[in-house]
Amino acid sequence: MDIIKQIAAELSIRTEQVERTVELLDGGNTIPFIARYRKEATGELDETVIRSLAERLSYLRSLAERKADISRLIAEQGKLTDELATSIAKAFSLQELDDIYRPYRPKRRTRASIAKEKGLEPLAEKLLEQGPTEIEKLAEPFLSEEVSTVEDALAGARDILAERFADDPELRALIRQFTYSTGLLVSGGEDTGEIAEAKEFQMYFDYYEDVAKIPPHRVLAINRGERLKVLRVNLRVDEQKVYAILNDRVINRPSSPSAAQIRAAVEDGYKRLLGPSLEREIRSTLTEKAEAHAIEIFAKNLRDLLLQSPVRGHRVLGIDPAFRTGCKVVAVDQFGNLLEYTTIYPHEPQRRWHEALAVLKELAAKHGISLVTIGNGTASRETEQLVAELIKNHCPKLQYLVINEAGASVYSASELAREEFRTLDVSMRGAVSIARRVQDPLAELVKIEPKSIGVGQYQHDVNQKELASALDAVVESCVNHVGVELNTASSALLKHVSGLSPRVAAEVVNYRTANGPFRSRAELKEVKGLGPKTFEQAAGFLRIADGARPLDNTAVHPESYALAERILAEIGAEEEDLADREKLAEIRDKLRGLDPKEMAQRLAAGEPTVRDIMASLAQPGRDPRDELPPPLFRADILSLKDLRPGLILQGTVQNVVDFGAFVDIGVEKAGLVHISQLSDKFVRHPTDVVQVGDIVTVRILDVDQDRERISLTMKTSE
């Protein structure tokens, strides 16, 4: 089966869809561009399917290259038979190929290779024939200066057979499957007090679980414990059953004098070679699957976080809390521009509480502040009390949010932050990030390395290259889904737009700085390094709110402007009418009465493109995030002491992990809704029920004051 047909079968799509999508990918088109603007070619494949197709295409092409390499390497040894060539051609995975190539891979000197050097391979073959001849008589012809006794000869022959059995592709596959389906992953350890993290792994000090059933988060936890030298880990399997399976395959004459030698070779080959090799392999496979799962969950959480609803129209006071060094405070306008900054010292050791209240009151009045955002790091709780008192006694119209400040320090020390605020102290830059995050989460969070944003699970324990690749894809997808305002976007945001490299994104900003705001998308062609292909990929995702052409503020691609004008003409409208609120309302009403299929036929255009253009014309400047609920504002403060079982509260989902969801209910610690408490119905995985940023109603189940743990439920029934 060729690659195109194989991908079509695996993804349950048509062959021609795969062919056209592969052509587009090979032609240098980005996945967001293909998904949004080449729907006719792909048969309306969505972005998720196209990404899966691209990943599978890359894997299968690598597999094909590896097949060619292995065929060449074996042929160079003069050992490529027709049967072997067929096996290589039919291999469906890199692991299967590795099994086939293993016997032919150059090895360091082994016990088997040493025995072969002594001329004992023919003896091994004779033992494998399992004839009636006594083994002493078989071995005697192979005695020499290097092989002085019959036992030495037999030992060498067994070494050769042991390695052969361990390298045999069919036997490896058989024992691999047996081990995976029946084996146990076993861990042990003890808290000696020498390693600080030891207490985290107490549940794994005497632990075992079926290899086939162990969930991903436990695999990663055990791996971390082993890496910290807190845990000892091994894979346990019934060796006697393994020997029985192998002997059944390699011994065809149990009564032969050679059978005992073969059994000994089987046991030695498994204990010394095959068993340890498969243990490493299976644990590696478990880790790869666990990492892929963790990355998938992280990517889902990141997407939900980036696509949270922006809080528009608020002037914001951002506070980065601290004790000794003081709380950094910044005021920003509704567009995120810095208005003023200062430092207050309400907490230990200075305790200038009333002075801090006066400063905040003055800033709020001076700049028309309507919202305060507080970082959730050190001294967050104490600063929240300060703001609650400010609202209660001085500024009753103010509201506040506690913001996850993960990554703020990464941003504040970055080159981008230095370029934005050259004169600001590092910690003050962090306060700006905390203030802006609520105004436009996507625009601010793209400035931070995705893995530092704090919505993952075991993100430091997974393959960092694959994590970065997956998270970059999420950022790219989110940025292009929302669209970017060309005249206000930072280079950090622009570099994620389809087709724009970091260098070209920087040139876009340079051009804007030198020439003023862009008046049209077409003006992009004047930017240094932005050629026709880049323009094609990027233009549709860039918006100009107050440009010369209203279509530049829609998701309609410039290549389809003529078609958009014809659709407008069908309802008696013109492009300029899109900028007139009253006429736009009329356009929406008339567009609702059009049949996209009929319109596409009349205009000799693709139905998906016509449908998308009609949707875009109805909502110029649309931001899909505006349809999501805003974050949960607060005006007063709760503490753990205020909580009691049965109390019902609203909270914001902060993180989603395999075993549940952490919900911010406005106290010191986020509460945990265990997976078993997420719904009255069975929940396969928490992401099926909740996502980061959701506002949920929860009921307190239990509060552990000493351990500062809060158990919550979202079930409606007791």
Cβ contact 434:373 at 8 Å: yes
pLDDT tens profile 33-87: 999 999 999 999 999 999 999 999 999 999 999 999 999 999 999 999 999 999 9
Cβ contact 169:99 at 8 Å: yes
Which whole-number Å values give the CA distances from 621 to 389, 548, 551, 555, in the listed order? 39, 14, 9, 8
The CB-based long-range contact list for 376-382 (8 Å cut-off, 24+ gap) reads 376/402, 376/403, 376/404, 376/405, 377/320, 377/321, 377/322, 377/405, 378/321, 378/322, 378/323, 379/321, 379/322, 379/323, 379/327, 379/347, 380/321, 381/668, 382/321, 382/323, 382/346, 382/347
| Per-state percent for the chain, helix, strand, coil, to nearest 5 | 55, 10, 35
* Burial group, residue 526, by CB count within 10 angstroms (0-12, 13-18, 19+): exposed
Cβ contact 408:373 at 8 Å: no
Q: Is 663 helix (H, G, I), strand (E, B) or coil?
A: strand
Number of Cβ within 10 Å of residue 565's Cβ equals 15
Nearest to 3 by CA among 46, 47, 61, 50: 61
pLDDT tens profile 533-590: 999 999 999 999 989 999 999 999 999 999 999 999 999 999 999 999 899 999 999 9
pLDDT at 626: 84
pLDDT at 454: 73
Q: Which two tokens stand for residue 170?
A: 């069919």
Distance CA 610, CA 108 (A): 64
Q: Is 634 helix (H, G, I), strand (E, B) or coil?
A: strand
For residue 468, pLDDT over 90 is answered with no
- H/E element, 304: helix 275-306
Band of residue 467 on the pLDDT scale cut at 50, 70, 90: confident
Ramachandran assignment for 679, one of left (phi > 0), alpha (psi -120 to 50 degrees), beta (any other): beta
Distance CA 665, CA 654 (A): 10
* Burial group, residue 56, by CB count within 10 angstroms (0-12, 13-18, 19+): middle
Cβ contact 131:256 at 8 Å: yes
Distance CA 361, CA 410 (A): 30
Distance CA 599, CA 579 (A): 24
Give me the mean pLDDT over the 608-631 stretch. Answer: 90
- H/E element, 388: helix 380-393
Cβ contact 427:328 at 8 Å: yes
Q: Which two tokens stand for residue 227?
A: 């890496």
pLDDT tens profile 687-699: 999 999 888 999 9
For residue 292, report the phi and psi dihedrals to the nearest 5 degrees.
-60, -40
Distance CA 287, CA 299 (A): 18
Distance CA 128, CA 259 (A): 8
Distance CA 160, CA 158 (A): 5
pLDDT tens profile 425-439: 888 999 999 999 999
Q: Is 187 helix (H, G, I), strand (E, B) or coil?
A: strand
For residue 484, report the phi and psi dihedrals to the nearest 5 degrees.
-130, 130
Nearest to 713 by CA among 697, 692, 693, 695: 697
* Pairing of the two strands 542-543 and 484-485: parallel
Give the residues across from 327 on adjacent strands: 344
pLDDT at 199: 83
Packed helices 464-482 and 275-306: angle between N→C axes, nearest 10 degrees: 20
How many residues does the structure list for the chain?
718
Cβ contact 567:527 at 8 Å: no
- H/E element, 208: strand 206-210
* Burial group, residue 159, by CB count within 10 angstroms (0-12, 13-18, 19+): buried
Give me the mean pLDDT over the 181-197 stretch. Answer: 88
CA 544 to chain centre: 31
pLDDT at 377: 86
pLDDT at 197: 79
pLDDT tens profile 372-404: 999 988 999 899 999 999 999 999 999 999 888
For residue 605, pLDDT over 90 is answered with yes
Distance CA 459, CA 478 (A): 20
For residue 339, report the phi and psi dihedrals to the nearest 5 degrees.
-105, -45
Share of the chain above pLDDT 70, in %: 99
Q: Which two tokens stand for residue 165?
A: 């059995």
DSSP code at position 682: -
Query: For tokens 């969950």, what's the residue?
Result: 297
Band of residue 508 on the pLDDT scale cut at 50, 70, 90: very high
Helices (H), 270-379: 275-306, 353-367
Average pLDDT, the chain: 93
Nearest to 670 by CA among 307, 406, 348, 304: 406
Q: Which two tokens stand for residue 561?
A: 């402007």
Nearest to 543 by CA among 623, 464, 608: 623
pLDDT at 1: 54
Distance CA 313, CA 494 (A): 23
DSSP code at position 195: S
Distance CA 240, CA 182 (A): 13
Q: HEC profile for 106-137?
A: CCCCCHHHHHHHCCCHHHHHHHHHCCCCCHHH
Cβ contact 262:162 at 8 Å: no
Nearest to 230 by CA among 186, 196, 276, 207: 196
pLDDT at 484: 95
- H/E element, 297: helix 275-306
Q: In order of start, what are the domains of the chain with their CATH numbers?
A: 3-79 (1.10.10.650), 111-295 (1.10.3500.10), 316-470 (3.30.420.140), 482-627 (1.10.150.310), 640-713 (2.40.50.140)
Residue partners of 56: CB distance under 8 A and separation at least 6:
7, 10, 11
Give me the mean pLDDT over the 609-633 stretch. Answer: 89
* Pairing of the two strands 399-403 and 371-375: parallel
For residue 456, pLDDT over 80 is answered with no
Most confident of 98-107, 343-352, 412-421: 343-352
Which whole-number Å values give the CA distances from 298 to 80, 240, 304, 449, in the listed order? 45, 42, 10, 13
pLDDT at 718: 64
Sheet holding 206-210: strands in order across?
206-210, 184-189, 231-236
pLDDT tens profile 307-359: 999 999 999 999 999 999 999 999 999 999 999 999 999 999 999 999 999 99
For residue 675, pLDDT over 90 is answered with yes
Band of residue 638 on the pLDDT scale cut at 50, 70, 90: confident
Q: Which two tokens stand for residue 203?
A: 């549940």
Distance CA 535, CA 33 (A): 11
